[in-house]
């Protein structure tokens, strides 16, 4: 009798396992899908998913016992990438962006990230590279919570603390002496020794990319918007030390001299790149450096209570930004989509597509910046295409984005890792 009970228990476990394997097989059907590599429209489309992986696309025979999700007259695309987010930042709640560093804590910022991460994922972005947070690693905490399944959001590659010179862009400036005075552990580092300490401290606490502010910026107090802030040897030190730990470097850079110095130092990407030149473009193409333009920023008003100094800097850079974007597109430099969300509202990140297309980029190229190009920049090969063996990150939009790119602003279905996140 005892052995019979054991046998029945084992049999029941086996039956449950078989049933679970059937339950994990899903078929997504839609009127069409886009091969983002070639631009080919495949119609109709049936994608078979086993667990968290695409197992087949339009096979000759579909699994008879699979769950079928018919999305009708929609277009299927791979989950999108945003290569420049700030999921734990909020620039739109009163004057929050100017005072958060002294009024809030890492716990506050991590909680922002829970809400903003979900908004980003529901907009169709299943993978993001987070470009820096206030001190305390709230972005790393958010990554861990998402990876563990405690909260819902995109896969995050966090930068932790920005690297900046004292008083530069990415330092906390504008307050009285003694208020939020930061050092290498918080990313504020001057000279080779402090830079090494800063990078190593980031690695110790789980960052997946290093962010350096190679030039001044728009939103920091004072400074010229394009002035170079790190020397060539300091930038080289950052890249070399990051590389030892298997990490890439993204460089905030507006001014031409700082952009060129960062490119020659070996950074993986230039963020914003407001003042490109033909010489910089040539060097970027030679090295395979990516340009992450965050161009939709130019189409929106600055947040309320923006200081006049920031407004002046934004107005100064505006014509350079437009010229640089068109130069980059026409020259064929590598481009990956980034939105600077946190400055852009997190649920509006899909508007980056139209912002690029209306400035001369083709719809297919725009889609590629958020899929295969971004995956190449990030260094991942397990996603960004709707092919067998890739992760089941799938989105759907109504209409055809190759004909009307604005449909990317209205994602109606999102699947990440084979799990449905949104289904309107």
Q: Is there a contact between 156 and 130 (Cβ–Cβ < 8 Å)?
A: yes
Residue in 365, 288, 364, 355 with CA at minimum distance from that of residue 322: 355
Q: Can you spell out the DSSP letters for 2-22?
A: HHHHHHHHHHHHHHHHHHHHH
CB 146 within 8 A of CB 117: yes
Half-sphere exposure of 73 (CA within 13 A, CB side): 1
Query: How many Å apart are CA 414 and CA 80, to the nearest integer?
Result: 10
Residues with Cβ within 8 Å of 216's Cβ and at least 6 positions away in sequence, in order, are 168, 169, 223, 224, 225, 226, 227, 229, 254, 255
Distance CA 184, CA 202 (A): 10
pLDDT tops 50 at residue 357: yes
- What average pLDDT does this structure show over 171-177? 84
CATH (residue range 2-78+385-423)? 2.30.40.10
Exactly one of 340, 351, 393, 416 is catalytic; name it. 340
Counts for the chain of helices (H) and strands (E), in that order: 12, 18
Q: Is 90 known to be catalytic?
A: no
Report the pLDDT value the prediction gives residue 317, as an integer from 0 to 100: 87
CATH class of 80-378: alpha beta
Q: Within 13 Å of residue 418, how many CA atoms lie on the same side as its CB?
A: 17
Instruction: Tell the residue number behind the tokens 């080289």, with chain if given.
Output: 236
Place 340 in a pLDDT band, splitting at 50, 70 and 90: very high
Can 211 be counted among the known catalytic residues?
yes
Edge-to-edge strand order for the sheet containing 125-130? Answer: 80-85, 125-130, 155-158
Catalytic residue among 208, 211, 248, 390: 211
State the residue for tokens 């449909």.
407
422 CB neighbour count, 10 Å cutoff: 17
Supply the pLDDT for residue 174.
80
Of all residues in the chain, what percent carry a pLDDT higher than 90?
A: 79
Q: How many CA atoms lie within 13 A of 185 on its CB side?
A: 4
User: How much is the pLDDT for 223?
Assistant: 60
Instruction: Tell me the average pLDDT of the chain.
Output: 91
Residues of the chain with CATH 2.30.40.10: 2-78+385-423
Strands of 86-165 (E only): list them: 125-130, 155-158
Tell me where in the chain the CATH 3.20.20.140 domain(s) lie.
80-378
Q: How far is residue 417's CA from residue 126's CA, in Å, rounded to a whole number?
A: 9
Highest mean pLDDT among 18-32, 158-172, 263-277: 263-277
pLDDT of 68 strictly over 70? yes
Structure tokens at 30: 């839609």
């Amino acid at each position: 009798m005892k052995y019979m009970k054991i046998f029945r228990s084992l049999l029941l476990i086996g039956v449950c396992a078989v049933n679970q394997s059937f339950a994990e097989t899903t078929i997504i059907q839609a009127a069409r899908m886009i091969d983002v590599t070639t631009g080919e429209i495949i119609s109709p489309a049936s994608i078979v998913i086993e667990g968290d992986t695409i197992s087949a696309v339009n096979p000759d025979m579909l699994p008879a016992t699979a769950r079928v999700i018919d999305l009708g007259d929609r277009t299927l695309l791979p989950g999108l990438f945003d290569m420049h987010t700030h999921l734990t930042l909020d620039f739109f709640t009163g004057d929050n962006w100017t005072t958060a560093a002294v009024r809030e804590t890492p716990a506050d910022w991590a909680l922002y990230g829970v809400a903003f991460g979900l908004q980003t994922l529901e907009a169709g972005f299943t993978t993001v590279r987070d470009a820096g947070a206030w001190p305390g690693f709230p972005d790393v905490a958010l990554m861990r919570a998402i990876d563990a399944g405690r909260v819902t959001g995109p896969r995050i590659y966090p930068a932790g603390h920005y690297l900046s010179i004292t008083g530069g862009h990415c330092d906390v400036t504008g307050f009285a002496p003694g208020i939020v005075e930061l050092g290498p552990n918080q990313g504020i580092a001057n000279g080779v020794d402090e830079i090494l300490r800063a990078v190593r401290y980031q690695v110790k606490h789980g960052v997946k990319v290093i962010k350096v502010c190679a030039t001044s910026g728009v939103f920091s107090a004072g400074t010229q918007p394009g002035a170079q802030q790190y020397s060539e040897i300091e930038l080289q030190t950052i890249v070399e030390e990051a590389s030892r730990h298997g990490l890439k470097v993204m460089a905030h850079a507006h001014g031409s001299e700082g952009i060129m110095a960062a490119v020659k130092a070996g950074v993986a990407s230039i963020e914003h790149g407001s003042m490109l030149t033909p010489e910089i473009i040539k060097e970027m193409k030679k090295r395979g450096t990516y340009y992450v333009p965050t161009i939709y920023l130019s189409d929106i008003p600055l947040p309320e209570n923006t200081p006049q100094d920031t407004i002046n800097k934004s107005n100064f850079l505006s014509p350079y930004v437009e010229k640089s974007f068109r130069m980059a597109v026409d020259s064929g430099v590598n481009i990956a989509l980034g939105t600077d969300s946190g400055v852009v509202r997190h649920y509006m990140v899909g508007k980056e597509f139209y912002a690029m297309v209306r400035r001369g980029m083709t719809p297919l190229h725009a889609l590629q910046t958020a899929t295969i190009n971004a995956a190449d920049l990030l260094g991942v090969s397990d996603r960004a295409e709707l092919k067998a063996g890739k992760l089941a990150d799938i989105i759907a939009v109504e209409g055809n984005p190759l004909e009307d790119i604005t449909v990317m602003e209205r994602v109606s279905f999102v699947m990440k890792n084979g799990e449905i996140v949104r289904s309107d």
